[in-house]
Amino acid sequence: MLIVSCAEQSKIYNLTPQQASDLLNEKEAMGLFVLNVHTPYEGEIEKTDAIIEDWESIANHQDQLPSDKNTPILVYCRSGRMSTSAVEQLQKLGYKEIYHLDGGMREWKKAGFLIMNEPHPEDSQG
């Protein structure tokens, strides 16, 4: 008996903030889909396409993801923990090209990049 697997391995790339910024500059040309999986919402990186706060169950939100599994996806959260789980789930769902912002929005901000709609501590007081 011959068993042939048609499943291709996913390519996963861990990116520094600068590498992620460079990738975002090519977003339109490469058809990049940008996904924020941080819970609760604490802002986003410009050019984000979807926000899935149910980071533990990405499969339940496939309607928000690209139907073409060859679409490259950049995933991030606040620190990298939730997005690491999301990357594994996207891989299981069959996505072939996944980029992960190592250190999440915290490292993005430390590198001098903007977080859009970031809540300010004084907004939650009183």
Residues 6 or more apart in contact with residue 9 via CB below 8 angstroms: none
Q: Find, among 60, 69, 64, the residue nearest to 48 by Cα.
A: 64
Backbone angles phi, psi at 62, to 5 degrees: -60, -25
pLDDT tens by residue, the chain, 126 residues: 444 434 458 899 999 999 999 999 999 999 999 999 999 999 999 999 999 998 889 999 999 999 999 999 999 999 999 999 999 999 999 999 999 999 999 999 999 999 999 886 554 443
Q: Which long-range contacts (CB under 8 A, 24 or more apart) does 51-54 make?
A: 52/86
* Cα–Cα dist 41/52, whole Å: 9
pTM summary value: 0.87
Residues 6+ apart with CB under 8 A from 125: none
Q: Which residues contact 41 (CB under 8 A, 6 or more apart)?
A: 51, 53, 117
* Domains contained in the chain, CATH given: 11-116 (3.40.250.10)
Cβ atoms of 101 and 80 within 8 Å: the answer is yes
